[in-house]
């Protein structure tokens, strides 16, 4: 397991994990990339499916016949837009304004049509509403998972934790590895992440890498909602299908 405080390099790239490299047990390549207005980036992997999600700014997404211009004001008040493609397919992103994207890739031999997920495609739910005096209520925005993209080896979504709340509660695990990328609305904002029995300070731009079998739960400070892009890698023959194994010490809350 690892909790990270990565910085952007001179190319505007923040590296979270790599297949066969840093945090290789996540089985994913994950980068957060800042793009300046007028610049363009192309993404293609011969053996990996790829996904690009816009966190803020305005950009044009292109892939084959797909060409979509998208604007996202920020992660706390606006929904994500995402372009997803199979191995050997090129995704191009052109920054209309300064913007930030999350790039994600993982090995997948399957061939499938590229798909653009607009804001209207996001599956929106509210979790834990009314429980524990609403101290764990959160807004969940799922882009794609096993239910609507069973050909993919990935799950991609976002959580907006309301200020002062816990989330990803009850403490739970699943066999599949998962990565969280956090954003907070101000540099002094903070929270905490509990991986197993260890606690880590969540800051704007930090990341958590959770191996299968490790419980993970978060809390954010009053005054500071917390954003998280959550990315899960299915395992061969064992996809994450809303899989949730609650820590047995807290099981009584589900009864």
Mean pLDDT confidence for 210-239: 96
Q: By C-alpha distance, which of 7, 34, 179 is closest to 105?
A: 179
- Which pLDDT does position 81 carry in this prediction? 98
Q: What is the pLDDT of residue 59?
A: 98
How many residues are recorded in the chain?
255
Total of domains in the chain: 1
Question: What is the spatial distance between Cα 157 and Cα 198, in angstroms, rounded to a whole number?
Answer: 25
Q: Positive or negative, the Cα torsion across 31, 32, 34, 40?
A: positive
Give the global pTM. Answer: 0.96
Pick the closest to residue 232 from 194, 177, 157, 182 (CA basis).
177
Residue 1: which pLDDT band, with cuts at 50, 70 and 90?
A: low
pLDDT at 74 over 80: yes
Domain of 49: which CATH number? Answer: 2.60.120.10
Summarize the confidence of residues 102-110 as an average pLDDT.
98
What is the domain extent for residue 86?
A: 2-254
Tell me the pLDDT band of 254, cut-offs 50, 70 and 90. Answer: confident
Of 142, 137, 149, which is closest to residue 123 (Cα–Cα)? 142
């Amino acid at each position: 397991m690892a909790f990270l405080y990565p910085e952007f390099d001179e190319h505007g790239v923040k590296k979270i994990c790599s297949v066969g490299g840093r945090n290789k047990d996540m089985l994913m390549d994950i980068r957060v990339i800042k793009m300046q207005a007028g610049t363009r980036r192309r993404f293609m992997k011969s053996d990996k499916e790829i996904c690009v999600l816009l966190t803020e700014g305005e950009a044009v997404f292109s892939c084959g016949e797909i060409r979509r211009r998208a604007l996202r004001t920020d992660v706390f008040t606006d929904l994500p837009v995402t372009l997803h493609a199979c191995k050997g397919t090129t995704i191009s992103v052109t920054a209309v304004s300064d913007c930030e994207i999350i790039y994600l890739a993982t090995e997948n031999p399957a061939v499938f049509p590229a798909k653009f997920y607009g804001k209207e495609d996001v599956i929106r739910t509210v979790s834990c509403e009314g429980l524990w005096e609403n101290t764990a209520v959160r807004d969940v925005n799922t882009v794609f998972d096993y239910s609507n993209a069973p050909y993919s080896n990935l799950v991609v979504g976002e959580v907006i934790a309301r200020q002062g709340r816990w989330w990803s509660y009850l403490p739970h695990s699943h066999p599949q590895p998962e990565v969280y990328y956090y954003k907070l609305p101000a540099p002094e904002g903070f929270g905490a992440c509990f991986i197993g029995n260890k606690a880590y300070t969540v800051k704007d731009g930090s990341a958590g890498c959770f191996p299968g079998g490790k419980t993970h739960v978060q809390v954010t400070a009053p005054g500071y909602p917390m954003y998280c892009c959550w990315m899960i890698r299915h395992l061969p023959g064992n996809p994450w299908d809303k899989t949730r194994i609650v820590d047995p010490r807290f099981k009584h809350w589900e009864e």
